[in-house]
Chain A
Amino acid sequence: MTLLDVEDLVISSAGARLVDGIDLSVRAGERVGLIGESGSGKSLTALGVMQLLPRGISSTGSIRFEGRDLARISERARSSLRGRRVAMVFQEPMSALNPLMRVGKQIAESLTIHKTLSRAEAKEEAARLLARVEIHDPRAVLRAYPHELSGGQRQRVVLAMAIANHPVLLLADEPTTALDVTVQHRVLRLLDGLVRAEQMALLLISHDLAVVSGICDRVMVMYGGRVVERATVGQILAHPRHPYTAGLVATSASLGGAPSAASRRRQPLPTIPGTAPSAAAASRITGCPFRARCGWASPRCLEEPRLETIVDGHDVACWHPLPAPAAPRRAREASGLAGRADVALGPGLAQAAPPVTSDGEGAAPILECRKLVKVYRPELARQGGDPPAAHIRALDGVDLVVLEGDVLGIVGESGSGKSTLARILLALDRPTSGEVRFRAARIDGSPERALRAMRREVQVVFQDPLGSLDPRMRVRDIIAEPLHALGVEGDHRQRVAELREAVRLPRDTGRRYPHQLSGGQRQRVAIARALAPRPKVLVADEAVSALDVSVRAQILNLLGELIGRFALTVVFISHDMAVVQHLCNRVVVLYRGKVVEEGLVEEVLTRPKSSYTQGLLAAIPRLGKHVGDDRSATVGAAPSPD
């Protein structure tokens, strides 16, 4: 039975068609994934179905849900369906909850909107729901405010509100994107279990193919506000037909795959050249929205391809669909991605991949720290009442040696202390105790004057490129700034041009401001700025975490290339084991301010010694691995608080 049947959904804002006429159907009990990068229109599609579009954005088309067109019935009638028959879980659980209302009241409200319950009954039911989403102390959580809960707990609360009235359809928009890997794994498994137990249909929206493939039966791939491919998970993974899908599958497979041997490390990842257009830009493209990035594009692609069925249950919107029996590797070549590797990755990359000093013998330590402790002292409670809150030990005796030529990964989840460690290594923060040395000289607690030499040799790239670039400076001035600040001699203009080419930014970007660039381009600017004073050491703090999947691979390739070309020593901080595995030769695993494991990447990944690392590795979503398949993610692991 078809539960939801969307036809020709168009979502537009100020004349731009952000979602351009898509069809979508979900049968009872079915689990459908909606895949796309930022700007693809996937979240808007879900909000369009709910008829909860932001102000100023409107939709046309029919949205038949249980036989009624949600777009045509009254707001009152829609309200009575929302939360009762169709429910939604949002991406950011902190902002999705009312900050001024106790959690218990917010859950109870989900119930009392739709049925008459006494306060005590509603509270009882809310506690039962919290237990249902595997919250350990439901009574305490009922009385808490959202800010008093962890990210995982908040998302469980949001989930509890959504399932309160046993809806037949659940829409989940990136429900785990804001969460740590191990927490993500547990929340996904919970979601999977709930959907199966309640026999709900699920529309799961995600940028992560691995997440979707772990839960869903069918997948729809969106690009530029259109659906470009629609098939079962098996079909998509084995035989992607659209070049874009093929690129996504290849990228996800190479990053999320089995631990790579040292020989494969830092080999270029398959990427999709270019970046996805913004929703507004995509609405101006006539013909196939992907053609500018496609190796197969032909004049015919100026005409818009329709979504057509190729084999049973497999639809694709492409004039040049990839041949059917193509193995994934073949598909990758056929998609033209490999053929365009020189465009995506630049020439001479193979030679550029550096000989990795895998054991580090003979190399000198360049950056090291001993018994590093950082204690954050929460303000003492005001007079009377509460005892002073416990001190937070962000770092608890960390020893670390970075050898010259090392590419050291520091892996940890939120609260592991990895960003605190980065700040201390950069001498942006002082340790409570312990010492930090750069080339054998103490840098902790040194006055800023004494650090000038070190500042020139140690540079940093942060996670959020937009936040870390001055919005009122032109790109060329941003790149040149460290040269002025550190008093580097020479022709700055020429140096900026060199750097711009090294990070492959188009010529005209020099004149532009950060907000005019795409996320990937901004991160290239941040990298160029860091490289400007010719540093020996590059500290990258979650440098690729904020980027879309296909762009992430490009930036990783770029980093890999630059490491070889400029003989950089790198401290690469990330929550993402897959990225670290690709780029680094050594890895340190941080957990609650302590090093729980360190060693060569291939050893740590294939034979993890600590139970925490084992849990972390098991939690990584991998293509085609069902979330319920592997129970080891929590067995024996010391899970981070969630």
Chain B
Amino acid sequence: MAAASVIVFVVLAILPGKPAEVILGTQATPSAVRELTDKLGLDKPIWRQYVDWVGGIVSGHLGTSYISGQPIAGELGSALEVTGPLVGLGLLVGLVVAVPLGVFSAVKSRSASGVVASVLNQIGIAVPSFVLGILLIVVVGVELRLLPTGGFTGWSDPTEAMRSLLLPAVALGVVEGAIVGRYVRTAVLDVLSSDYLRTARAKGLTPGRALVRHGLRNVAVPVLTVLGLELAGLVVGAVIIENVFTLPGMGTLLLQSVENRDLIVVEDIVLLVAAVVLVVNFAVDIVYHSLDPRIARER
């Protein structure tokens, strides 16, 4: 976390384009630029800027935006109201795609239907999420007029909010789901050839019941690892998808801030993402322990 904060800060500091120059536009006088730089504290040595920033975060102040002058916490909060549910919904869609697809293509790996499932899966991996998003907009939004194609009206109307998040979540989730599906398939194939599944069959369980009772939990262990890693991919995907669907989420905020050299906002967002990934991986570790008694023992 600390390492992430340092890297973000240093990389952004050496990026070309001084914030004050960008903010004031091309007509700015040198003295105006100097004055603004002074005001924003950007003339201080870089380590000092870093200490101020981190000190602020620790004491609960994310700072104020260079551009709007608003506290960043508020902007970030309203962006999160969009991105959080979007990623969560995307994850859900991903799982709904990945688990049945992976299990089916593993169980039927020796028949035509399994091969078809595998091919579909590969296509799902190859299609970028924004292409799928545009396709969905055209087909479901424009042609069928079933769901809104963009924009977000806020959570005051939960049904409408969910409706506007549905398409982007599908676009996001299907691609991630296809990737995770491959891992599910491999894990299921491993389990299918395992000795304990053979034991379960020898006890008198039918193939399907043996897989459900003894297989799925064993499949979950490796899949969970991938899922933890893929969540980061999901957040990155959200940045792109939010732009396709013009959602006022974190991705849109991030892009705007980068364009405007609103460095402190960028820094806060990156730090937040890093924190989320860390928390998720920690959560994965905890779930591991409850899933696999052997891990608890190794500790």
Interface residues, chain A, CB within 8 Å of chain B?
A: 50, 52, 54-56, 75-76, 79-84, 87-88, 90, 92, 95-101, 109-110, 113-114, 145, 147-148, 158, 161-162, 379, 382
B73-130 residues with Cβ-Cβ distance < 8 A to A are 110
B255-299 residues with Cβ-Cβ distance < 8 A to A are 291-294, 297, 299
Specify which of A55, A76, A97, A147 is in contact with B193 (CB 8 Å cutoff): A55
Q: For residue A145, which residues in chain B have a CB less than 8 angstroms away from its CB?
A: 293-294
Closest partner residue, chain A, to B294 (CB atom)? A147
Specify which of A75, A79, A100 is in contact with B293 (CB 8 Å cutoff): A100
| Contact of B214 with A101 in the complex, beta carbons under 8 Å | yes
**Which of A75, A96, A148, A158 gathers most chain B CB within 10 Å?**
A96
Check: B206 CB closer than 8 A to any chain A CB: yes
CA distance A96 to B202 in the complex (A): 11
Closest partner residue, chain A, to B291 (CB atom)? A100
| Contact of A98 with B203 in the complex, beta carbons under 8 Å | no
| Contact of A95 with B297 in the complex, beta carbons under 8 Å | no
| Contact of B196 with A97 in the complex, beta carbons under 8 Å | yes
Check: B198 CB closer than 8 A to any chain A CB: yes
CA distance A412 to B137 in the complex (A): 71
B179 to chain A, nearest CB (A): 25
B11 to chain A, nearest CB (A): 36
A68 to chain B, nearest CB (A): 15
| Contact of B204 with A98 in the complex, beta carbons under 8 Å | no
Specify which of B196, B203, B213, B293 is in contact with A82 (CB 8 Å cutoff): B203
| Contact of A109 with B213 in the complex, beta carbons under 8 Å | yes
Q: For residue B110, which residues in chain A have a CB less than 8 angstroms away from its CB?
A: 55-56
Q: For residue A99, which residues in chain B have a CB less than 8 angstroms away from its CB?
A: 196, 218, 292-294
| Contact of A100 with B217 in the complex, beta carbons under 8 Å | yes
Check: B205 CB closer than 8 A to any chain A CB: yes
Q: Assess A52 versus B203: contact at CB under 8 Å? Given A95-B196, A96-B196, A99-B196.
A: no
A-B contact pairs, 23 of them (CB 8 A): A52-B201, A75-B206, A79-B205, A80-B204, A82-B202, A82-B203, A83-B203, A87-B203, A90-B195, A92-B195, A95-B196, A97-B199, A98-B214, A98-B218, A99-B292, A100-B293, A101-B217, A109-B203, A109-B213, A110-B204, A113-B204, A162-B202, A379-B299
Q: For residue A81, which residues in chain B have a CB less than 8 angstroms away from its CB?
A: 204
Check: B62 CB closer than 8 A to any chain A CB: no
CA distance A430 to B30 in the complex (A): 70
| Contact of A100 with B218 in the complex, beta carbons under 8 Å | yes
Q: Assess A114 versus B195: contact at CB under 8 Å? Given A145-B294, A147-B294.
A: no
A330 to chain B, nearest CB (A): 44
What is the interface of chain B mostly: helix, strand, loop, or mixed?
helix
Q: For residue B192, which residues in chain A have a CB less than 8 angstroms away from its CB?
A: 55
Contact with A along B16-58 (1 / 0, CB 8 A): 0000000000000000000000000000000000000000000
| Contact of A113 with B205 in the complex, beta carbons under 8 Å | yes
Specify which of B198, B204, B221, B299 is in contact with A84 (CB 8 Å cutoff): B204
| Contact of B193 with A54 in the complex, beta carbons under 8 Å | yes
Check: B207 CB closer than 8 A to any chain A CB: yes
CA distance A92 to B217 in the complex (A): 21
Q: For residue B200, which residues in chain A have a CB less than 8 angstroms away from its CB?
A: 98
Q: For residue B297, which residues in chain A have a CB less than 8 angstroms away from its CB?
A: 147-148
A238 to chain B, nearest CB (A): 36
Specify which of B204, B214, B221, B292 is in contact with A114 (CB 8 Å cutoff): B204
Check: B225 CB closer than 8 A to any chain A CB: no
Closest partner residue, chain A, to B215 (CB atom)? A98
CA distance A75 to B193 in the complex (A): 18
B114 to chain A, nearest CB (A): 12
B198 to chain A, nearest CB (A): 6
| Contact of A50 with B204 in the complex, beta carbons under 8 Å | no
B236-261 residues with Cβ-Cβ distance < 8 A to A are none
Closest partner residue, chain A, to B205 (CB atom)? A113
| Contact of A75 with B203 in the complex, beta carbons under 8 Å | no
Q: For residue A95, which residues in chain B have a CB less than 8 angstroms away from its CB?
A: 194-196
CA distance A52 to B203 in the complex (A): 11
